């Protein structure tokens, strides 16, 4: 069983976000592993944990990111959780990639990994907290020609068939697909494990493979600004929220509340 987990290096959501030329400024040292990808890592590691001894010994979990060099931080965190291999795709030509370009490059890297043996499953988080597109998993599946089971709240694998439970506004769905497949897991799917001291120490010196677009055999014209099918035409930080106004009820609270609603055109 070989599983590739897509992990994204994202700006820390607690830090101030700035835009330049419609792009998020990604200052070195301010990024982190996309928190929702911890659920993806946990799902992959649990699948391996559930295998019998021989299958578990032969299994490999690869963490893959498309990011500048700082993206190694995301891969080190993946190593801390227990993955076997970390791969980063970095290339100047990737700057300005949209969803399609991102998915094309990630899929090309998965295909490159397949040079060493089949990849049974690609696991992702349900969204990257900087972009919040939630479309990369389906696009990667399309690129690879594999079924996509997305937003899974429960994941089970038996006899080469993946079964997930996902919830939409209208229904609870149970879906199955044969491997190889692409899976995105919801934040409610599991509780990510805490790395132990041994893995934290080992993660510091683990090898991270860095690949270029040429290494993954992808034409630079399909990614980055050159290949983007969408253009961000405007990006601005949200205006600060107005200060909270506390209405003290000294017998006239209802009146004060009504005045507040009228003053702000809320009724």
Ligand X SMILES: Cc1cc2nc3c(=O)[nH]c(=O)nc-3n(C[C@H](O)[C@H](O)[C@H](O)COP(=O)(O)OP(=O)(O)OC[C@H]3O[C@@H](n4cnc5c(N)ncnc54)[C@H](O)[C@@H]3O)c2cc1C
65 binds ligand X, rule: CB under 6 A: yes
Residue 144's Cβ-count burial label (10 Å; 0-12, 13-18, 19+) is: buried
67 binds ligand X, rule: CB under 6 A: yes
Chain center to CA of 162 = 20
125 binds ligand X, rule: CB under 6 A: yes
Binds ligand X by CB under 6 A, chosen from 95, 161, 214, 262: 95
Binds ligand X by CB under 6 A, chosen from 3, 4, 87, 127: 127
Token pair, residue 88, equals 């980063």
Q: For residue 98, which of 213, 236, 227, 233 has the smallest C-alpha distance?
A: 227
What spatial distance separates the first Cα and last Cα of the chain, rounded to whole Å? 59
Integer angstrom CA distances of residue 101 from 107, 144, 161, 230: 10, 14, 29, 10
Axis-axis angle for helices 72-81, 36-49 (nearest 10) = 40
With contact defined as beta carbons under 8 Å apart, do 98 and 229 qualify? yes
Residue nearest ligand X (C-beta atom): 131
| CA 48/CA 83 separation, integer angstroms | 10
- How many of the chain's residues bind ligand X (CB under 6 A)? 33
Binds ligand X by CB under 6 A, chosen from 15, 55, 58, 132: 132
Residue 198, SS3 per DSSP = helix
Binds ligand X by CB under 6 A, chosen from 60, 131, 163, 226: 131
Q: Binding string to ligand X for residues 164 to 203, with x set by CB under 6 A, is what?
A: ----------------------------------------
Residues from 209 through 248 that contact ligand X (CB under 6 A):
232
99 binds ligand X, rule: CB under 6 A: yes
Binds ligand X by CB under 6 A, chosen from 37, 38, 91, 143: 37
Rounded least distance, CB 88 to ligand X, Å: 9
With contact defined as beta carbons under 8 Å apart, do 179 and 120 qualify? yes
Binds ligand X by CB under 6 A, chosen from 18, 19, 23, 201: 23
80 binds ligand X, rule: CB under 6 A: no
Between 167 and 256, name the residue whose CB sits nearer to ligand X. 167
Which contiguous run of DSSP H or E holds residue 109? helix 99-113
Residue 216's Cβ-count burial label (10 Å; 0-12, 13-18, 19+) is: buried
107 binds ligand X, rule: CB under 6 A: no
136 binds ligand X, rule: CB under 6 A: yes
142 binds ligand X, rule: CB under 6 A: no
Which positions touch ligand X (CB under 6 A)?
Answer: 6-8, 22-23, 26, 34, 36-37, 40, 65-67, 95-99, 102, 106, 124-125, 127-128, 130-137, 232
């Amino acid at each position: 069983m070989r599983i590739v987990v897509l992990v994204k290096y994202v700006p820390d959501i607690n830090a101030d976000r700035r835009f330049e030329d419609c792009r998020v400024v990604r200052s070195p040292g301010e990024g982190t592993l996309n928190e929702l990808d911890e659920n993806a890592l946990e799902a992959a590691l649990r699948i391996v944990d559930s295998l019998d001894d021989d299958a578990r010994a032969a299994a490999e979990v690869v963490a893959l990111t498309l990011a500048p060099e700082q993206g190694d931080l995301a891969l080190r965190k993946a190593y801390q959780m227990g993955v076997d291999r970390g791969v980063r795709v970095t290339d100047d030509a990737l700057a300005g990639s949209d969803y399609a370009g991102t998915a094309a490059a990630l899929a090309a890297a998965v295909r490159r990994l397949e040079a060493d043996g089949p990849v049974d499953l690609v696991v992702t988080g349900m969204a990257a907290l900087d972009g919040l597109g939630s479309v990369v998993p389906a696009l990667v599946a399309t690129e690879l020609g594999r079924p996509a089971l997305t937003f899974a709240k429960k994941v089970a694998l038996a006899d080469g068939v993946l079964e997930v439970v996902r919830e939409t506004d209208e229904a609870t769905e149970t879906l199955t697909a044969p491997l190889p497949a692409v899976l995105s897991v919801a934040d409610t799917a599991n509780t990510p494990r805490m790395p132990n001291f041994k893995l934290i120490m080992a993660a510091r010196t683990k090898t991270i493979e860095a690949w270029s677009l040429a290494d993954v055999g992808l034409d630079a014209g399909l990614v980055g600004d050159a290949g983007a099918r969408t253009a961000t035409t405007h990006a601005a930080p949200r205006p600060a929220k107005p200060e909270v106004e506390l209405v003290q009820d000294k017998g006239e609270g209802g009146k004060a509340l009504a005045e507040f609603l009228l003053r702000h055109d809320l009724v």
